Amino acid sequence: MPSRNARPKPPPTEFKAIAAEWARAKQLKELEDAVQKKPESAKADDARRAALEAHRKKAFERRCFWTIGFWGWLLCIHIIGILLFTSGFLLTRLVLDEQSKCDNPPIEPLIEWKGKGTVDGGCWHPKTFDKAVIVLVDALRYDFTVPVEEGDHAEVYHNALPFLYESSVQSPGNAFLRPFIADPPTSTLQRLKGLTTGTLPTFIDIGSSFAGTAIEEDNLLIQWRAQGKRIAHLGDDTWTALFPDYFQPNISRAYDSFNVWDLHTVDNGVLDHIFPLLKPDQAQKWDVLIGHLLGVDHAGHRYGPNHAAMTAKLQQMNGFIQNLTKEIDENTLLVVMGDHGMDSKGDHGGESDDEVEAALWMYSKKPVFGRTQPEFKTPPATAKIRPVNQIDLVPTLALLLGIPIPFNNLGRPIEEAFIGLKGSAWDVLAAASSITSAGIRRYQASYFKARGIEQSTKPGSPATLWKDAEALVQAGTKSVSWKALYNAYTAYQEETLRICKDLWASFDIPKMILGVITMAFGVVVLLLYVSRDEDEDFAVLDNAELDFAERSLELQQGSPAEPEIASYKSFSRSLAKTGLLSGAIIAALSSGLVQITGSGEWLLAAAATAIGSMLAVTGVLLRIRGIRILNLLPNTPWGWLSVVFTLSQSIGFASNSYTIWEDSISLFFLSTFGFVSAIASLQLISVRDRTLGIYHSILFVVLARVASFSKLCRDEQMPYCTSTYYASANSSTSAPWQLAIPFLVFLILPSIIKSYMQSSRSYEGIAPMWIGYVFRTGLFLAAVYWTLDAADNGDWLTSIPEKLLKTIHVSIAQLVLAVAFVAGTTAFIWAPPCVNIFTTAANSSRAQITVLGFGNAHGARYLLLPINIAAACILLSKPMGGGAIAIMLWQILSLAEIVDLNDLSAETIGPVTLALLGNFHFFKTGHQAVLASIQWDSAFIPLLTLRYPWSPLAVALNTFAGQILAVTSAPLLAMWKTSPKRRGVLESTSRALAALVAYYAVQSLATMAWAGHLRRHLMLYRVFNPRFMMAAAVLLVVDLVAIGVALLGVRTNVLAISEVFGFAD
Amino acid sequence: MPALDPTPTAISSAAAAHKASNKAGEPKDSKDAPTPPVQILASPQAQVVRHLQPALLVSLLLARFRALVADPVSALSSALPLVVAVQVTYAVVCLPAVGSQNARPAKKARPGEKRKAGPESTGPNIAVTTLVALILSAIASLALHLILVLFGAPFLTHVEHTFLCSAHLSLLGLFPLFYTRGVSSSDWHEILSASAPFDEAFGGLVGACVGAWLGAVPIPLDWDREWQKWPVTIVCGVYAGYLVGKVLGGTLAFSKRFS
């Protein structure tokens, strides 16, 4: 069987055979007709007919060309709109690869000390501590640590953790407590990045690798490791994702961080394992010990701060920290801090005061900490007073422990740690500040160089502030000027930080608005295109008599000179010509303008081009075609239904809840469609149609509900959701029982497709071979692949070496993809129509030609294309996802039947439901609108190592399988059960595609507009932004697939059908 | 009939025969005359009960709302007999039982004669009709349960919640229809295909369904309100939708159809 799969081309003979048989039968019939009619010159007629066919073929290919041109223009519009919005909205930061070196300080240190420039003495600054214990109490809000008088608005979370405050009041030389302000987004992962690198987080850090979460830029842990320090880690496993292979293997212990309901496992793990490590014998095994406790955070998520569980947790932390201070030795620094706070409900992620205000407490057994002013001995009463930034921890820790400050640091040293016990060591503090400032300056220079931006030299800019400080250094080294010098450096650091925050955290609102306008206009153009008057174009499509008359007219004219018979023929041409031409002109003009003025605003030129050419196209649509704005409003219940589906979801994207629960909402809409279509089917006259309509409607709904059992929950859906996509909540492998799914798909799916084709007698031609054998084999191999994968993951086959196993299953995957894409495409291009032509000997005087599958010639043959795509997607999705895709294919077939039975092919509801179905199965294939749900491992299904562009392609096929299959199948809705005599196939499929793309365009417009509008919303980075990114990516993917697969597929299909049956128009 | 499927098709000039004609333009005057809407009985009691029933249902919902939010299962099940009583009274007093329209066209119009009418009537047996309609409603609530699950209701958990919700939906939306229309297949074909004329019963069904659909809207919101739990919003939507649909169906939209 495999040999048959691998055969690249189906026999052309079969194709010819059918064509020949058709021609012979036709001739036979014509001969008989001719006998009855007047005898005409048959030969001349034949020649004319051939000329007409050639002419029509050429005309069709031209129409294809212009239709694709129109779609290409549309794609450009979408790209420009998304680019415009993104450039104003998605703030990006370049990740630089440079790292600080111990022996290469950015500036000569201001003070001298023993062992300067070595790890033992301190690289850039005199070392204070040998070792450090860093305890991160997740979500430790500042006000948790400040005692409140009983009865004086004391909440349950007050006074439960008094040790930090009391110790810094009682022994200020040993401890200090200060508010610790996080930079939003306040999610743990982003915070850990800030706390270790000293930079501000942006949504996307442009790094060098395309996958993975590991931090690449210079950070404290890299520096510790480079200086030969050993790091141990206990607690939250986010650290191991960010810093793989950094930690001492035997003594480190990572715990799963996502089980928000579990308040104790992580904490008890840290508590149990941290104290043995502090004992003198174990203490030799590490230099830096990181403990990350999650109990407080989880108590907040689960109960909110106002709960007894929170009190208990804080009390436990109190005792824990107290014990820690007893256990550590003189040379060890103890840091206790929160990475963020929590809001009144115990959640975090945004930038409200409660979320960014954490606490920082440092402790040393030997008294070293001082205060610059005596009144600072009492810790601030609220987080608004004397806060420090979280990034300030980075230079402070680095200098205290004698390692270089990470290259990207923007923080500044915390004064308590350097001012000395008496509070008078301004020289040390100024030296620390000087070396930090120089580091910042070096980083800024590199960054601006890498970005190609000039640094400002205006008065008050960092450059002039730096010069001021330098002038002070030159002036002299009297004790008075140290303080002034420190202040000068502080001014420089503050200004630089402000500029960086502006650079990385402000939105370009005019560009965002321009992007939204471009997208909105694009949607209007699409809707106008979709809503063009169906009556005038396609009313006579299937009228055989008219066709006959037209044909003879064209025949008599000999070579007809582009008759203006049907306007649809020149529709896309005028649109595409207008769009491309006006676009080109405006693009040339505006880019010339940009060039001349030298403003570099290429995006604005693009915006002008897009909007200008859309105006032109709209003009064509409105005036020349006589389409009125009123046409935009639907005029049937079905039209209203598609409006309700699209619009209500778009409005829903304004709410984080509806965005979070989109998977369930899609099911709800799909069921609604099914029930409406069942009601509509009941209105059909023919009992057979009625029964079939109800059957397919119910089937459609039931299948959707069955598929909905496949779930991958996002964090925000907890605890109301149970993931079923993977074996368990914290694994990314499939459960053994799920392996049954691909085998079921292999057994059932081809038969289902066969049954749908048989209902129109279209299971003919290449179909039995391709669907019954090749497709089935592909599915079987996919099932084998996933079985081997499970065996590999579960170590079931220990007898086979792992490497061999990997090679085997990667080869299987490659084979399936080769069958689906290479052989599949070849077969699709060369396959004859799925029909069977035979001539029955006439029992009367007339010969009868019977064509099995004639009525579904277009649809049945085109179906081969979605099938091939589905086969690839099934392989690239996990077993559960493969099942979902199989169900989706089944649903698409039912949808096509529903559309046909209820005569909806001119309505938008079919494509809109299909688009909804695509989104639904996006969720059912184990995805969510969050970046974390991207299944990066799918890149390694067909490959052993990363290979461009194949790896990203595999990930894209895995991620957008639902939508890709939906677009590929959109033409099916317009072509299912249409005969070769159907005219305007290209136009009606392009229209169906436009309706489908319009749905996705509206979604990306809505998510874009809402994300822009809610840019200060707490959930921006967790909900709205990811959903916008998903919608934008989906729109571009859908556009590309519509052009590259669907439209080209339709072209191939129509050419192949018409080759046999003649061109219908 | 099967010929309209694109199965073997002979190619003559008229070969490409297509099924367009049989489809959308579906002529309304198919076989028999369109079913008339069901009139409310004209007796004064009927008029009183007709207006009393919505008031009773609303006050029942409002009075039990707190209990419904606290414990949906017990509140819904304890309310069930009350709703049955209200609906049965409403049906018996206000609605003509199935078959009664044919039996005695306009006799009920006379106010004084009402007391005699019951036992004497040769028409349907009210008690049996009521009982059958109730049984049918109970059976139909199983189907409604399935439909709710298809729309995304929990499949394995909250079975009682879902079932009680569909029982209420069935009692409000379907019981009056079973009572007035019986099991006539042509009537039910019209009702299920949404082409029946509007009257109080059909309007109520449409309203209850739309209400249930809209009732799902607030569920996903993260307001953390007790009343967002399953199936409180659906039940409220069903009641509100039923009342609105019934009133509209009996008045403004009476005897109109979805075109």
Residue type, A630: L
Asked whether residue B12 is assigned to any structural domain, the reply reads: no
More confident call, A592 vs A450: A592
Interface test with chain A among B18, B188, B210, B259, by most A beta carbons within 10 Å: B18
The answer to whether the CB of A668 falls within 8 A of the CB of B151 is yes
SS3 assignment, position A949: coil
Which residues in chain A have Cβ-Cβ distances shorter than 8 Å to B186? none
pLDDT in tens, chain B (259 residues): 333 333 333 333 333 333 333 333 334 344 456 778 888 888 899 999 999 999 999 999 999 999 999 999 999 999 999 999 999 999 999 999 887 765 444 444 444 444 444 444 456 788 999 999 999 999 999 999 999 999 999 999 999 999 999 999 999 999 999 999 988 888 999 999 998 999 999 999 999 999 999 999 999 888 878 898 889 999 999 999 999 999 999 888 888 888 6
Q: What is the span of the domain harbouring residue B109? A: 37-193
Which residues in chain B have Cβ-Cβ distances shorter than 8 Å to A983? none
- pLDDT average, residue stretch A560-577: 68
CA distance to A912, A918, A965, B154, per residue, from A891 (Å): 14, 11, 12, 22
Asked whether residue B153 is assigned to any structural domain, the reply reads: yes
* Of the candidates A127, A124, A194, the residue with the CA atom closest to the CA atom of residue A392: A194
Torsion from C-alpha of A935, A939, A942, A945, nearest 10 degrees = -140
Distance from CA of B34 to the nearest CA of A (A): 14
pLDDT digit string (tens) for A369-389?
999 998 898 999 999 999 999
Residue A882 has pLDDT above 50, yes or no: yes
The answer to whether the CB of A1038 falls within 8 A of the CB of A1003 is no
Asked whether residue B61 is assigned to any structural domain, the reply reads: yes
Tokens of A67: 């239709």
Select from A26, A657, A981 the Cβ nearest to the Cβ of B16: A981
Pairing mode, strands A848-852 and B9-10:
antiparallel
| ipTM score assigned to the predicted complex | 0.84
DSSP class of residue B34 equals: P
- pLDDT average, residue stretch A587-593: 91
Q: Dmax over Cα atoms in chain B, in whole Å?
A: 72
> What residues contact A150, with CB distance under 8 A and at least 6 apart?
A159
Distance from CA of B194 to the nearest CA of A (A): 7
Tell me whether residues B221 and A655 touch, CB distance under 8 A.
Answer: yes
State residue A103's pLDDT score: 87
> What residues contact A851, with CB distance under 8 A and at least 6 apart?
A22, A835, A836, A837, B8, B9, B11
In terms of CA atoms, which chain B residue is nearest residue A763?
B7
Residue A15 has pLDDT above 70, yes or no: no
Tell me whether residues A680 and B23 touch, CB distance under 8 A.
Answer: no
| Secondary structure of A13-27 as H, E, C letters | HHHHHHHHHHHHHHH
Tokens of A1017: 């919303």
Tell me whether residues B13 and A548 touch, CB distance under 8 A.
Answer: yes
In terms of CA atoms, which chain A residue is nearest residue B13?
A544
More confident call, A326 vs A478: A326
First-to-final CA distance of chain B: 26
Which residues in chain B have Cβ-Cβ distances shorter than 8 Å to A665? 220
The span from the CA of B146 to the CA of B164, in Å, is 12
Asked whether residue B1 is assigned to any structural domain, the reply reads: no
Packing angle between helix A509-530 and helix A42-89, nearest 10 degrees?
160
State residue A709's pLDDT score: 93
State residue A392's pLDDT score: 94
Tell me whether residues B193 and A679 touch, CB distance under 8 A.
Answer: yes
Tell me whether residues A672 and B151 touch, CB distance under 8 A.
Answer: yes
Tell me whether residues B8 and A850 touch, CB distance under 8 A.
Answer: yes
In terms of CA atoms, which chain A residue is nearest residue B15?
A544
* Of the candidates B136, B221, B223, the residue with the CA atom closest to the CA atom of residue B179: B136
- Which pLDDT band holds residue A884 (cuts at 50, 70, 90)? very high
CA A613: distance to chain centroid?
30
Tell me how crowded residue A739 is: count the other CB atoms within 10 A of its CB. Answer: 16
The answer to whether the CB of A102 falls within 8 A of the CB of A123 is yes
The answer to whether the CB of A202 falls within 8 A of the CB of A927 is no
Tell me whether residues A684 and B23 touch, CB distance under 8 A.
Answer: yes
User: By CB neighbour count within 10 A (0-12 exposed, 13-18 middle, 19+ buried), where does A563 fall?
Assistant: exposed
The span from the CA of A590 to the CA of A569, in Å, is 33
Tell me whether residues A854 and B6 touch, CB distance under 8 A.
Answer: yes
In terms of CA atoms, which chain A residue is nearest residue B229?
A720
State residue A96's pLDDT score: 84
Tokens of A587: 């693009």
SS3 assignment, position A246: coil
* Look-up of token digits 């569980």: A309
DSSP H helix total and E strand total for chain B: 10, 1
State residue A717's pLDDT score: 85
- pLDDT average, residue stretch A921-925: 96
Distance from CA of B245 to the nearest CA of A (A): 18
State residue A802's pLDDT score: 77
The span from the CA of A728 to the CA of A724, in Å, is 7
- Is the sign of the CA dihedral A698, A703, A704, A706 positive or negative? positive
CA distance to A67, A212, A542, B74, per residue, from A568 (Å): 11, 50, 15, 63
The span from the CA of A369 to the CA of A417, in Å, is 5
In terms of CA atoms, which chain B residue is nearest residue A679?
B193
The answer to whether the CB of A439 falls within 8 A of the CB of A413 is no
CA distance to A356, A600, A1015, B26, per residue, from A507 (Å): 20, 19, 8, 56
State residue A476's pLDDT score: 64
Tell me whether residues A683 and B149 touch, CB distance under 8 A.
Answer: no
State residue B10's pLDDT score: 35
The span from the CA of A784 to the CA of A771, in Å, is 18
Asked whether residue B152 is assigned to any structural domain, the reply reads: yes
DSSP H helix total and E strand total for chain A: 40, 12
Tell me whether residues B7 and A761 touch, CB distance under 8 A.
Answer: yes
The span from the CA of A605 to the CA of A589, in Å, is 9
Tell me whether residues B189 and A682 touch, CB distance under 8 A.
Answer: yes
State residue A631's pLDDT score: 64
Residue burial A967-988, b: 16+ Cβ < 10 Å; e: rest: bbbbbbbbbbbbbbbbbbbbbb
- Phi, psi (degrees; rounded to nearest 5) at A468: -55, -45
Q: Half-sphere exposure of A412 toward its Cβ, with a 13 Å CA cutoff?
A: 24
Residue A333 has pLDDT above 70, yes or no: yes
Select from A671, A682, A709 the Cβ nearest to the Cβ of B192: A682
Question: Candidates 3.40.50.300, 3.40.190.10, 3.40.50.170, 3.40.720.10; correct CATH number of A92-200+219-504?
Answer: 3.40.720.10
CA distance to A106, A125, A434, A435, per residue, from A399 (Å): 14, 6, 12, 9
The answer to whether the CB of A544 falls within 8 A of the CB of B14 is yes
Domain boundaries, chain A: 2-40+650-1061, 92-200+219-504
pLDDT digit string (tens) for A839-876?
876 665 667 888 888 889 999 999 999 999 999 999 99
- Which pLDDT band holds residue A531 (cuts at 50, 70, 90)? confident
* Of the candidates A283, A307, A309, the residue with the CA atom closest to the CA atom of residue A295: A309
The answer to whether the CB of A285 falls within 8 A of the CB of A228 is no
Select from B13, B16, B258 the Cβ nearest to the Cβ of A542: B16
Which residues in chain A have Cβ-Cβ distances shorter than 8 Å to B189? 682
State residue A768's pLDDT score: 93
The span from the CA of B144 to the CA of B212, in Å, is 11
More confident call, A962 vs A804: A962
Residue type, A614: M
Tokens of A774: 């090749």
* Of the candidates A703, A702, A631, A649, the residue with the CA atom closest to the CA atom of residue A1002: A649
The span from the CA of B17 to the CA of B3, in Å, is 9
Helix, strand, coil in percent for chain B, rounding step 5: 65, 0, 35
More confident call, A18 vs A884: A884
Which residues in chain B have Cβ-Cβ distances shorter than 8 Å to A688? 1-2, 5
Distance from CA of A801 to the nearest CA of B (A): 43
Residue A538 has pLDDT above 70, yes or no: no
Tell me whether residues A977 and B6 touch, CB distance under 8 A.
Answer: yes
In terms of CA atoms, which chain A residue is nearest residue B150?
A705
Tell me whether residues A850 and B147 touch, CB distance under 8 A.
Answer: no
Count of CB pairs separated by less than 8 Å, A with B? 112
State residue A789's pLDDT score: 87
State residue A540's pLDDT score: 44
Which residues in chain B have Cβ-Cβ distances shorter than 8 Å to A534? none
Asked whether residue B41 is assigned to any structural domain, the reply reads: yes
State residue A183's pLDDT score: 85
Tokens of B234: 């659906």
* Of the candidates A601, A647, A521, A591, the residue with the CA atom closest to the CA atom of residue A74: A521
The answer to whether the CB of A719 falls within 8 A of the CB of A261 is yes
**pLDDT, averaged across chain A:** 86
Q: What is the DSSP string of A671-736?
A: HHHHHHHHHHHHT-SSHHHHHHHHHHHHHHHHHHHHHTT-----GGGTTS----SSSSTT--S--G
pLDDT digit string (tens) for A465-485?
888 888 888 876 555 588 888
Ramachandran sector of residue A228 (left: φ over 0; alpha: ψ -120 to 50; beta: rest) = left
- Which pLDDT band holds residue A9 (cuts at 50, 70, 90)? very low
User: By CB neighbour count within 10 A (0-12 exposed, 13-18 middle, 19+ buried), where does A338 fall?
Assistant: buried
State residue A567's pLDDT score: 65
Q: What is the DSSP string of A616-637?
A: HHHHIIIIIS---GGGGS--SH
Tell me how crowded residue A329 is: count the other CB atoms within 10 A of its CB. Answer: 12
